Amino acid sequence: MRRPHATAEQLGALTPLAGLSRERLAELADMAVIERAPRGSDPLHGCEPGRSVFLLQGELLLAFDGGGTLVVVGGTGEGCHALNRRRQAVVRSKAITDVDLLALEDDLLDTLATWDQAVRGDARFVTGAFALSSLKSGALAQLPAAHVEELLRRFEHLRIKRGEAVIHEGEEGDYYYLVASGRFQVERLVGGAKVVLAELKSGDAFGEEALVSEAKRNATVTALSEGELLRVRRSDFNELLREPLLRRLSFADAAQRVRGGAVWLDVRYPSEYQYDKLPGAINVPLAEVRNMFAVLDRSREYVAYCQSGRRSAAAAFLFAQRGFRVWLLEGGLKRAAERSS
């Protein structure tokens, strides 16, 4: 049986969400599943950390650490605040009636608050690349909150015609692109033949590999439909996106992290990997990184490396955009070898 979802009206009554636009509340409603608990139960028992719980309907008794109780009525007054985010810790709860509860991830609430403050109701930044699904897992998901407003100010909007090539393989990297709407195809010449690598949609990004690795464009991106792109110059990309997402480690610190359970991620060609791979390393060539988003275990930590640090910087950035915990071996194997000699 499909569980019911909260309505936009119910969400708008909750204190952390009261200032959100109707469009954003409607988006959130699609993923806000109501949990129902019977009368007499303790619905807050075993509440997962990192989530805020709200009472939408019914009556609930809260008992506090150090004494004292409070009856909360859903959808009004105290019910509009998170039950488990009070000054006094709740040690026990009891449903006086059947109750409807809603649990929302704290990170999601923080993301919504950050972007709502940044866009200030600007309709251009609540759909497409800035849809809630994109902000949770797309290219902007890991953007430091302090940089959101400035990045939005520097974005340049481009209308693209169907069939138009946005970047060409072999060109110098000059811009970072974010797909606001439309579909785009990524292709590369292999042995003189065009090979399609990926299809990009709203919320996806491209152009970052050449900027991070300071190399030529390694693919051509062409519009499959009319669309809109957002782009920022290399200098803005480096300041607001690249450096905040690249977490660098010396070889000693990286090795210590691997001993603690992280995995070496070798992003070189297979022939290089076979020659002098680090113990336990897995091989994910830079060109294959996007294909590994759905394959690698997101619960693990990784340390990316290559020979010089250029390719691994690009790989680490791509993974970090998608929420992976990836560290960068500073200077690559070359610097590690120099320091050990």
**Whether residue 271 sits in one domain with residue 235:** no
Alpha carbon 297 to its chain's center: 15
Least Cα distance to 149 among 158, 159, 140 occurs for: 140
Examine the fold and report which residue of 211, 241, 271 is the final residue of a domain before the chain moves on.
241
Range of the domain at 287: 246-340
Q: Is 80 a catalytic residue?
A: no
Examine the fold and report which residue of 222, 241, 260 is the final residue of a domain before the chain moves on.
241
**How does DSSP assign 127-169, residue by residue?**
SGGGSHHHHHHSTTTT--GGGHHHHHHH-EEEEE-TT-EEE-T
Examine the fold and report which residue of 107, 136, 159 is the final residue of a domain before the chain moves on.
107
Residue 94 lies in a domain: yes
- Burial of 308 per CB tally in 10 Å (0-12, 13-18, 19+): middle
The rounded distance, in Å, linking the Cα atoms of 211 and 216 is 9
Residue 116 lies in a domain: no
Residue 195 lies in a domain: yes
**Whether residue 237 sits in one domain with residue 132:** yes
Give the CATH number for residue 86. 2.60.120.10
Residue 66 lies in a domain: yes
Residue 275 lies in a domain: yes
**Whether residue 253 sits in one domain with residue 332:** yes
Question: Which of residues 26 and 165 earns the better pLDDT score?
Answer: 165
**Whether residue 251 sits in one domain with residue 219:** no
Out of 151, 186, 200, 306, which one is annotated catalytic? Answer: 306
**Whether residue 253 sits in one domain with residue 226:** no
Query: Binning pLDDT at 50, 70 and 90, where does residue 120 land?
Result: low
**Whether residue 211 sits in one domain with residue 250:** no
Entry pTM: 0.71
Percent of the chain with pLDDT over 90: 49
Residue 68 lies in a domain: yes
The rounded distance, in Å, linking the Cα atoms of 111 and 175 is 25
Residue 13 lies in a domain: yes
The rounded distance, in Å, linking the Cα atoms of 325 and 303 is 9
Helices H, strands E: what count in the chain? 12, 19
Residue 119 lies in a domain: no
Count: domains in the chain: 3
Question: Which of residues 185 and 120 earns the better pLDDT score?
Answer: 185
The rounded distance, in Å, linking the Cα atoms of 313 and 328 is 6
Does pLDDT of 298 surpass 80? yes
**Whether residue 235 sits in one domain with residue 141:** yes
Query: Binning pLDDT at 50, 70 and 90, where does residue 213 land?
Result: confident
In angstroms, what CA-CA distances link 140 with 3, 259, 318, 337?
30, 31, 11, 35
